[in-house]
């Protein structure tokens, strides 16, 4: 699954690069230069992000998160789950199967949703990277807004899928 995406991404960019090269060599050269420039601008925050993610993966491993979220069904646990999702770095292909297992164990839909929503939407770990591009104020506002959205969507999922009624 994950490998196929990468193969598609490489194929698409290679095909487009070839078409661009046939159409206009000078422009293609400029595009590659631009690509490198853009990458170098973000290289340092990228490295910093990888270090933060590695540390987070140790402290908030799959097992640890499973333990913390297990048997959680109270309304207040939604916030705990959302906070956990904000600082975790689990990739989707680990987080979603884990969420499926947690559901099997009887964890509330809303708690699971709060975790996966904020895992995707809120980036405490990507903050140094986001700050470079959006500015501190912009990055802060986006993350706070997205935290609220993650919680609201989790409550809605709980309501629709029957957590409380």
Within 73-132, the residues that bind another protein by CB under 8 A are 89, 91-93, 96-97, 99-100, 103, 109, 112-113, 116-117, 120-121, 123, 126, 129-130, 132
Contact segment (CB under 8 A) with another protein among 14-22, 64-72, 77-85 equals 14-22
Tell which positions 23-42 bind another protein, by CB under 8 A.
27-28, 30-36, 38-39, 42
**Structure tokens given for 156:** 């809605």
The site for another protein, by CB under 8 A, has a size of 74
| Nearer to another protein among residue 2 and residue 76 (C-beta) | 2
Q: In whole angstroms, what is the distance from residue 28 CA to residue 24 CA?
A: 6
Print the SS3 string covering 25-63: HHHHHHHHHHHHHHHHHHHHHHHHHHHHHHHHHHHCCHH
CB of 136 to another protein, least distance (A): 9
CB of 113 to another protein, least distance (A): 7
Nearest CA to 131 out of 44, 60, 64 is that of: 44
15 lies in the binding site for another protein (CB under 8 A):
no
152 lies in the binding site for another protein (CB under 8 A):
yes
How many other CB atoms are found less than 10 A from the CB of residue 66?
Answer: 15
Computed from CA positions of residues 15, 20, 26, 32, in that sequence, does the dihedral angle turn out positive or negative?
negative
């Amino acid at each position: 699954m994950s490998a196929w995406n990468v193969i598609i991404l490489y194929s698409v960019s290679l095909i487009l690069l070839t078409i661009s090269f046939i159409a206009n060599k000078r422009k293609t050269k400029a595009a590659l230069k631009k690509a490198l420039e853009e990458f170098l601008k973000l290289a340092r925050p990228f490295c910093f992000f990888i270090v933060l993610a590695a540390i987070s993966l140790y402290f908030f491993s799959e097992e640890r998160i499973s333990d913390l979220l297990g048997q959680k069904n109270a309304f207040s646990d939604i916030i705990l789950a959302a906070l956990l999702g904000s600082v975790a770095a689990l990739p989707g292909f680990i987080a979603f199967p884990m969420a499926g297992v947690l559901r099997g164990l009887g964890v509330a839909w809303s708690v699971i949703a709060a975790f996966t929503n904020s895992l995707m939407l809120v980036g405490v770990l990507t903050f140094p990277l986001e700050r470079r591009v959006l500015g501190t104020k912009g990055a802060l506002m986006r993350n706070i807004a997205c935290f609220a959205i993650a919680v609201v969507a989790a409550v809605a999922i709980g309501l629709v899928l029957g957590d409380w009624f």
